[in-house]
Structure formats: structure tokens, C-alpha cells
Amino acid sequence: MQPRPAPDHRPQEILADAIGRFAPGRVAISFSGAEDVVLVDMVHQMGLDVDVFSLDTGRLHPETYRFIESVRNRYGIAIELVMPEAAAVGDLVRRKGLFSFYEDGHSECCAVRKIEPLKRKLATLDAWITGQRRDQSVTRTSVPTEQEDTAFTGNNGALIKFNPLADWSSVDVWAYIREHGVPFNPLHERGFVSIGCEPCTRPVTPHEHERSGRWWWEDSTRKECGLHAQNVVKMVG
């Protein structure tokens, strides 16, 4: 299958605009350790420089940690690992154990391991850049390439979220990865498509939607971990 023609707003143009519009250190790529590395590669190819951070929940696959390290080495960049508060994790685990999300949903654990760390990081920024695409799930069908983030606040209050790959399909992403020899998480070769924490991610079959392997025991219309909570608000509100 051939990649689709380039859309009107190429991701590289959106990235260059996002990086040029804000002071260094006030805009950053949120790298999830899956195929978001396309964004890192594009910035590298354009000779630009931007901060990169990744949420380390403490529950990622070993392959993901090694992949993050390979990206760091390949592009010679620092990747900031943003971690949850030890006391909050300790309290959750002490009260409810390590797998409470299978019993009463992922919200509480994601709030501790993902949302609080992300909120803390975004409070230092004016804008962030994500790899969200419209074809990823039913919660992302109207994701724009640039939006005001209504779920979080930035350094001065307002926060802009750029989604340079919003127009791209999975086919486009993988065509880019192959064409440019971009490193990718080896879990993709074992049936994993959308990769998050190890206990909450499983491989999907060819006919399943790509995020159906995330929190597979929950309702598909609420499958956001809170990083992109405004997507869910739009669906159910």
C-alpha cells in the first residue's frame, strides 16, 4: 500500500513553526517511546533543536526502556524521563496493590503515574508537541494539528498542543520509518501497535483498532489515560 499524498500542512512545517514560536525550553516533544520517534527524526533532519521528555511510569516494558536509550544514542539527544512522586506511588501500592486497574479501572493509577508527572512538566512549558493521530482511535477522530490544551495549564497559564502527525495514517508513519531508517520499538514486531505500560498493553490482531490493545477490559470511548483528556470530554460531554 502506498502512503497518502502529503497533506496541506506537512508535519515538518508544523514542527518548525512550533519550535520557532517559543523560547528554548518552553516547548518540548512528548515522546511516548513508540513511533513518536518520527517527530524526533524530523527535528533532527531539519537541524533544529527541541527538548524531548518521556513519562516513565515505572511500568514500561523492558524493550521500551532500551528503545528510549537507542533513540538517545542515535540522535545524540537528552531525553528527560519524568517520573511520578515516589510517595504517591507508594501510597497507591500500599492501599491497593500493583494491579488495581484490572478491578476498578485505570484512572487512579494513571493519575498517579502519568497525569501528575505530566501536569508538573507542562507547568514549565508554553507548548508541547505530541504524536497523536486522528486514525488512532474513536477518541481522536477530530484531533487538530494545533489546539489550545484545555486539560492542562502551562508556565503562564495558556498551553498550546501541537499534533503534527494528526493528518497522518499508520501507513504514513511506517512508510516514513522505513524510508528514513528510523529506530522503532521492537514490540511492534510482536503484534503491539499502540504501546503503553506493560500490564495495560497487549498485541492486537490485524482487524482490531490499534488502541484496542490498551486497557482492553474497558469501554473504547473512554480509552484515554488523561494525557489527552480533552478528547474524551469531546466524545462524552
Active centre residues (catalytic): 225
101 binds ligand SF4 (CB under 6 A): yes
Contact 27, 126 (CB under 8 A): yes
Report the residue number, 118 or 182, with the smaller CB distance to ligand SF4.
118
Residue nearest to ligand SF4 according to CB distances in the complex? 197
* Spatial CB neighbours of 146, under 8 Å, sequence gap ≥ 6: 14, 18, 160, 161, 162, 163
- Smallest gap, in angstroms, from Cβ of residue 106 to ligand SF4? 4
Question: Using CB under 6 A, which of 14, 37, 38, 106 touches ligand SF4?
Answer: 106
Q: Are 80 and 52 in contact (CB under 8 A)?
A: yes
Q: Are 23 and 50 in contact (CB under 8 A)?
A: no
What's at 163, amino acid-wise? N
With respect to ligand SF4, which residue has the nearer C-beta, 44 or 113?
113
Region of residue 4 (phi > 0: left; psi between -120 and 50: alpha; otherwise: beta): beta
Closest approach of Cβ 183 to ligand SF4, in Å?
Answer: 23
Can residue 110 be called a binding residue for ligand SF4 (CB under 6 A)? yes
Residue 80: alpha-carbon gap to chain centroid? 14
Stretch that binds ligand SF4, among 9-17, 39-47, 107-115, 137-145 (CB under 6 A): 107-115
Contact between 33 and ligand SF4 (CB under 6 A)?
Answer: no
Choice from 199, 229, 234, 235 touching ligand SF4 (CB under 6 A): 199
The answer to whether 141 touches 167, Cβ cutoff 8 Å, is no
Binding site residues, ligand SF4, CB under 6 A: 57, 59, 101, 106, 109-110, 113-114, 196-197, 199-200, 225
